[in-house]
């Protein structure tokens, strides 16, 4: 993670009180003012210099700190950041400059004495090492790790500050395979080769992702997370006559065209194994706007396939709607129910289904995720940048 997520939500009572406190700076006994500290102290653990932290075989790493000086005791949230770059020790602001690689652990803590999850710390250090060393395995190596805390007033966007950096000079990690939470694909034909494209998670199926890509003849594709897309699938199943093959540089496509990707990732013997299936690029609309749903008697799903453009620069176009109601659309992945690969439009971008929709998007997800359709309108999609509109 390369950024800190700052909550913009705060308890109503606290936000109502803080302006009053700020207007009473001299009355510090009854109405103390919330101060903005510049730093606070993270203590170096006792015996850190000589102790070996074997993170893969530990449950927690204990860290203690003094609360930032907000002028009075107040509930504080602490986030743990770790780096293998010694330059991290010179960072004195909350926002870490680009060029210093670091990870912010997912778990946060509300006590000044915190037991940090050792596995989470282990995996962050492994990821940092692999990014800096071409994916090499750091298992068993003794490394120096640099750790600091970032704090803010719990439940608010106030009081952000960072601690000093401490050094754990002897840390041993082991690679522990974990399923990714997000998957991106990248290649010279994807978004002009300038940025990766996120795949949608198959709704209800763990470790499965899907998406639509245009591949030029001879172009390659790799996958990974938001930071690095250097992985090549373990196995490949070309069901689209794409002339796809596995190479050291990724999946190479001999034939140009639009293709639907279906990626499965699983853990076997502490290793990630991935299987990529390539299908013909098919997207379709269904539901009330088409006067029927996939699977209804007499309903012809093929009649509602979108027409694909010639290349990545164009838009997909649906047939004109014949009914009114909420947009329901999907990417066709053979063997999967249509609703597992369903999407809607949110703020102009495709939004992959991630919730149980017993009724409709408006009822089960929210009105902002529901797109109204009328007879004669069409769905237009740019599957290269995953944007869309109904007009």
Mean pLDDT of the chain: 91
Q: Which of 190, 180, 214, 212 is nearest to 199 (CA)?
A: 212
**How confident is the model at residue 178, as a pLDDT?**
86
Bridge partners (DSSP) of residue 389 are: 380
**How confident is the model at residue 8, as a pLDDT?**
31
Q: Is the dihedral of CA 307, 308, 310, 314 positive or negative?
A: positive
Judged against a pLDDT cut of 70, whether residue 379 lies above it is answered with yes
**How confident is the model at residue 30, as a pLDDT?**
61
pTM: 0.71
As a 3-state breakdown, the chain gives helix, strand, coil percent values, each rounded to 5, of 15, 35, 50
Judged against a pLDDT cut of 80, whether residue 252 lies above it is answered with yes
What does the pLDDT look like over 77-136, one tens digit per residue?
A: 999 999 999 999 999 999 999 899 999 999 999 999 999 999 999 999 999 998 899 888
Q: How many CB atoms lie within 10 A of CB 130?
A: 16
What does the pLDDT look like over 27-74, one tens digit per residue?
A: 445 678 999 999 999 999 988 888 999 998 999 999 999 999 999 999
Specify whether the CB–CB gap between 339 and 357 falls below 8 A. Answer: yes
Judged against a pLDDT cut of 50, whether residue 300 lies above it is answered with yes
pLDDT band at residue 18 under the 50/70/90 scheme = very low
pLDDT band at residue 9 under the 50/70/90 scheme = very low
Judged against a pLDDT cut of 80, whether residue 333 lies above it is answered with yes
With 0-12 CB in 10 A as exposed, 13-18 as middle and 19+ as buried, what is 45?
middle
**How confident is the model at residue 24, as a pLDDT?**
35
What does the pLDDT look like over 172-212, one tens digit per residue?
A: 999 888 899 999 999 999 999 999 999 999 999 999 999 99
Extended beta strands in 161-294, E state? 161-163, 166-172, 184-186, 197-198, 200-201, 208-215, 220-224, 235-238, 244-247, 250-253, 257-268, 271-280, 283-286
Q: Which of 56, 61, 60, 82 is nearest to 141 (CA)?
A: 56
């Amino acid at each position: 993670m390369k950024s800190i997520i700052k909550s913009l939500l705060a308890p109503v009572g606290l936000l109502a009180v803080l302006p009053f406190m700020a207007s009473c700076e001299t009355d510090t006994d009854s109405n103390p003012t919330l101060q903005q500290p510049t730093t606070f102290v993270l203590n170096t653990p006792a015996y850190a210099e000589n102790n070996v932290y074997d993170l893969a075989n530990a449950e927690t790493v204990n860290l203690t700190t003094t609360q930032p000086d907000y002028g009075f005791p107040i509930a504080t949230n602490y986030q743990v950041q770790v780096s293998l770059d010694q330059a991290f020790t010179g960072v004195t602001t909350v926002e870490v400059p680009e060029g210093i690689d670091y990870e912010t652990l997912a778990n946060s803590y509300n006590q000044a004495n915190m037991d940090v999850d050792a596995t989470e710390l282990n995996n962050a250090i492994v990821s940092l090492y692999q990014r800096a060393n071409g994916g090499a395995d750091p298992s068993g190596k003794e490394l120096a790790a640099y750790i600091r805390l970032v704090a803010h007033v719990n439940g608010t966007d106030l009081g952000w500050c960072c601690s000093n950096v401490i050094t754990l000079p002897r840390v041993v990690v082991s690679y522990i395979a974990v399923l990714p939470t997000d998957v991106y694909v990248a290649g010279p034909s994807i978004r002009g080769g300038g940025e990766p494209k996120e795949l949608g998670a198959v709704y209800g199926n763990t470790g499965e992702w899907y998406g639509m890509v245009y591949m030029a003849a001879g172009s390659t594709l790799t996958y990974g997370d938001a930071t690095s897309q250097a992985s090549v699938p373990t196995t490949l199943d070309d069901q689209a006559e794409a002339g796809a093959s596995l190479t050291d540089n990724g999946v190479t496509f001999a034939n140009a065209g639009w293709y639907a990707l279906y990626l499965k990732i699983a853990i076997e013997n502490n290793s990630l194994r991935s299987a990529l299936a390539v299908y013909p690029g098919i997207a379709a609309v269904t539901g009330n706007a088409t006067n029927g749903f996939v699977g209804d008697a007499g309903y012809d799903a093929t009649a509602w396939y979108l027409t694909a453009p010639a290349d990545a620069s164009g838009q997909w176009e649906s047939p004109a709607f014949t009914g009114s109601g909420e947009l329901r659309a999907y990417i066709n992945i053979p063997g999967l129910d249509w609703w597992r690969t369903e999407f809607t439009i949110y703020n102009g971008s495709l939004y992959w289904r991630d919730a149980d929709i017993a009724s409709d998007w408006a009822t089960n997800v929210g009105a902002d995720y529901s797109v109204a359709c009328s007879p004669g309108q069409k769905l237009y999609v740019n599957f290269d940048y995953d944007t869309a509109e109904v007009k």
